[in-house]
Amino acid sequence: MAVAMTASEWQTAKWKGRHLLDFGGYTGSEIETLLRFAASLKAARQAGQSTPLLAGKTLGMIFEKASTRTRVSFEVGMFELGGHALFLGSSATQLGRGEPLSDTARVLSRYVSGIMMRTYGHDIVTELANWSTVPVINGLTDLHHPCQALADLLTIQEQFGQLRGVTLAYVGDGNNIAHSLLQACALTGVNLRVASPDGYGPDAAVVTRARQWANLSGAEIAIVRDPREAVRSADVVYTDVWASMGQEEETAVRQTAFAPYQVNQELLASAGIGVWFMHDLPAHRGEEVTADVIDGKQSLVFDQAENRLHAQKALLAALIAGVVTL
């Protein structure tokens, strides 16, 4: 006769060993669970409480793109959880000499408790996960940036006390940030409007999937061209760089296309009183956002940056140890 699992055993089994490549396979309630856990970890840290939930565990971190926030937040997060983070630059590993990703995944799976990868093509992190027997976390690909979206939702939840019914306007390139926001907002009931120039909108398949999820959560998803239409009566206005890593050769063309999409005081005024500003950083002041906006009182960008740490700590504890509560 099978023995029924306790609530704690079921919770561990539900989370332990899962990957996070994007939010496919996750529910809105699961994202909300991670955010509550992140908030409790943040409160514990502020109170000086130790949370050694990953004592003896190691995270392997593969970087094929430059990083500040991702590297530091994951390293500090593992340290504060009692574990260790191992930096693996692709040029310093056999990946840089042509070792198959499948071999790297199978070898690392025997050494570490989890793998975080920051790379270019989304198919690369997908292949890594297909071969890995430990959790794989997408630290950024050209298609998705789910860790940033978790930090963004945590920031919105802190500011408004809830997610459902909040209206977020994303103005700019339909890139990995826009894609992960589309997924996360659709699942959790956040209304999202995305305004991009013609030819630079988010991936159609991502939008279609997000709208399907939004039908269940009650979120409103809108893809528009006019930035003023997007920000009208919005609670938060969000933007990102116009040329992401790997698109540097397109910078001049993109600056021309995106110039009308700059987030400045005039555009914020179109949203109304009390609007907040968000940006995932790094930012180019004077391009996608003016200095008076990003450095002004309405800016939440450094709360977002800090919340990468807390959201990722919750994610690491959940996927590596199956723990989602203190």
Residue 117 near residue 124, CB atoms below 8 Å: yes
pLDDT at 228 over 70: yes
pLDDT at 285 over 90: yes
Q: What is the largest CA-CA distance in the chain?
A: 68
Q: Which residues pair with 20 in a beta bridge?
A: 137
pLDDT at residue number 244: 75
Compute the mean pLDDT over every residue in the chain, rounded to the nearest whole number.
Answer: 95
Is the pTM value of this prediction over 0.75?
yes
The span from the CA of 125 to the CA of 31, in Å, is 21
Both structure tokens of 199: 């030819």
At 67-96, the pLDDT tens digits run 999 999 999 999 999 999 999 987 767 676
The span from the CA of 307 to the CA of 84, in Å, is 20
Report the length, in residues, of the chain. 326
pLDDT at residue number 205: 98
Residue 314 near residue 82, CB atoms below 8 Å: no
Q: What value does the CA radius of gyration of the chain take, rounded to a whole number of Å?
A: 20
Residue 50 near residue 103, CB atoms below 8 Å: no
pLDDT at residue number 245: 65
At 235-265, the pLDDT tens digits run 999 999 998 766 777 888 999 999 999 999 9
Backbone angles phi, psi at 209, to 5 degrees: -65, -40
| CA distances to 110, 140, 255 from 264, in Å | 50, 27, 15
pLDDT at residue number 92: 66
pLDDT at 271 over 80: yes
Both structure tokens of 208: 């279609």
At 163-183, the pLDDT tens digits run 999 999 999 999 999 999 999
At 139-158, the pLDDT tens digits run 999 999 999 999 999 999 99
Q: Which domains does the chain have, with CATH numbers?
A: 17-144+307-317 (3.40.50.1370), 148-304 (3.40.50.1370)
The span from the CA of 261 to the CA of 140, in Å, is 24
At 198-223, the pLDDT tens digits run 999 999 999 999 999 999 999 999 99
Going by C-alpha positions, the residue among 61, 105, 92, 93 that lies closest to residue 79 is: 61
pLDDT at residue number 250: 80
pLDDT at residue number 97: 64
The span from the CA of 108 to the CA of 26, in Å, is 25
Residue 277 near residue 268, CB atoms below 8 Å: yes
Please give the share of the chain, as a percent, with pLDDT higher than 70. Answer: 97
Residue 117 near residue 60, CB atoms below 8 Å: no
| CA distances to 35, 162, 185, 271, 273 from 262, in Å | 30, 28, 23, 14, 19
- Residue 77 CA, chain-centre distance (Å), reads 15
pLDDT at 2 over 60: no
pLDDT at residue number 89: 84
At 80-138, the pLDDT tens digits run 999 999 999 877 676 766 789 999 999 999 999 999 999 999 999 999 999 999 999 99
